[in-house]
């Protein structure tokens, strides 16, 4: 069996503080003998979300961090206490960022154990890019990626014709579904996992149209809510 994951699950795998982390790990552990394939759009969306969430928190931190000269005078304990208070404010204002705040705090704690406080701004400035670039490597550490798929344009017109009555929530969702459908002959039988109920529903509706329009077996792929 082949399987693939939506970006919300991939972010849950990479972000150890994410509510989906343990569930996502458990899912992957049960797929040791299956082939893991990755959609190009899922990877790009995961990279973008990770980068944007971390940068959003960094933007808040910039407003409260002392100047570099002042940071160098602070001990790691005092600086950490200052960061904790600011992070509490960020979580109160934006609860959806809590898991990313916790992730960044852990990174800061580890960094300050072995580095002087004045190097913290440089470390933080690279954090979002480092996480974004590390996604594929981190996934490989959990489960080898058998192959990646991208949109097959030669099959796209028929898929689009079958989906004329289906409206996906955003362009990424549509693109992911199109990548799955235009590669279906090569990836079947397959399972696609997501934590987005509405996306799963749209995939099921779209696939029903594809089955009728293009004559695929309705068991070629299944869409499962994690």
Task: List CB contacts of 147: < 8 A, sequence separation 6 or more.
Answer: 35, 37, 38
Q: Is the pLDDT of residue 66 over 70?
A: no
Question: Which contacts of 66-75 are long-range, i.e. CB under 8 A and separated by 24 or more positions?
Answer: 68/118, 68/121, 71/117, 71/118, 71/120, 71/121, 72/116, 72/117, 72/118, 74/117, 75/117
Kindly tell me the sign of the dihedral angle through the C-alpha atoms of 146, 181, 150, 100.
negative
Check residues 109 and 180 and name the one with the higher pLDDT.
180
Return mean pLDDT, the chain: 90
Count of Cβ atoms closer than 10 Å to residue 57 Cβ = 23
CB 205 within 8 A of CB 181: no
Q: Is the pLDDT of residue 64 over 60?
A: yes
Cα 179 to its chain centre, rounded Å, is 17
- pLDDT tens digits, 8-40: 999 999 999 999 999 999 999 999 999 999 999
Q: Is the pLDDT of residue 51 over 50?
A: yes
How high is the pLDDT of residue 58? 85
How high is the pLDDT of residue 130? 92
How high is the pLDDT of residue 69? 53
- pLDDT tens digits, 142-188: 999 999 999 999 889 989 988 888 999 999 999 999 999 999 999 99
Total length of the chain: 226
Q: Is the pLDDT of residue 192 over 80?
A: yes
How high is the pLDDT of residue 162? 87
CA atoms within 13 A on the CB side of 202: 21
How high is the pLDDT of residue 70? 65
Span 110-125, mean pLDDT?
86
CB 5 within 8 A of CB 181: no
Q: Is the pLDDT of residue 68 over 50?
A: no
β-bridge pairing 221-225 and 190-194: parallel
Q: Which CATH architecture has domain 2-47+143-225?
A: 3-Layer(aba) Sandwich (3.40)
3-state secondary structure of 168: coil
Task: List CB contacts of 81: < 8 A, sequence separation 6 or more.
Answer: none
Domain map (residue ranges) of the chain: 2-47+143-225, 50-138
């Amino acid at each position: 069996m082949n399987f693939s994951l939506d970006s919300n699950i991939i972010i849950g795998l990479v972000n150890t503080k994410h509510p989906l982390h343990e569930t996502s790990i458990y899912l992957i552990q049960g797929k040791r003998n299956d082939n893991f394939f990755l959609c190009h759009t899922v990877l790009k969306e995961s990279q973008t979300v990770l980068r944007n969430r971390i940068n959003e928190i960094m933007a808040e931190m910039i407003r409260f961090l002392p100047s570099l000269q002042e940071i160098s005078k602070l001990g790691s304990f005092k600086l950490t206490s200052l960061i904790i208070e600011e992070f509490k404010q960020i979580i109160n204002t934006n609860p959806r960022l809590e898991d990313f705040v916790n992730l960044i705090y852990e990174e800061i704690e580890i960094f300050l154990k072995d580095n002087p406080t004045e190097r913290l701004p440089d470390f933080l400035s690279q954090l979002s890019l480092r996480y974004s670039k590390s996604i594929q490597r981190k996934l490989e550490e959990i489960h080898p990626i058998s192959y990646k798929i991208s949109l097959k344009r030669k099959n796209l017109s028929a898929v689009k014709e079958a989906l004329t009555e289906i409206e996906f929530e955003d362009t990424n969702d549509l693109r992911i579904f199109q990548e799955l459908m235009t590669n279906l002959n090569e990836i079947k039988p397959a399972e696609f996992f997501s934590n987005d109920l509405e996306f799963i529903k749209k995939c099921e509706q779209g696939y029903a149209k594809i089955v009728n329009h293009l004559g695929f077996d309705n068991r070629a792929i299944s869409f499962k809510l994690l």
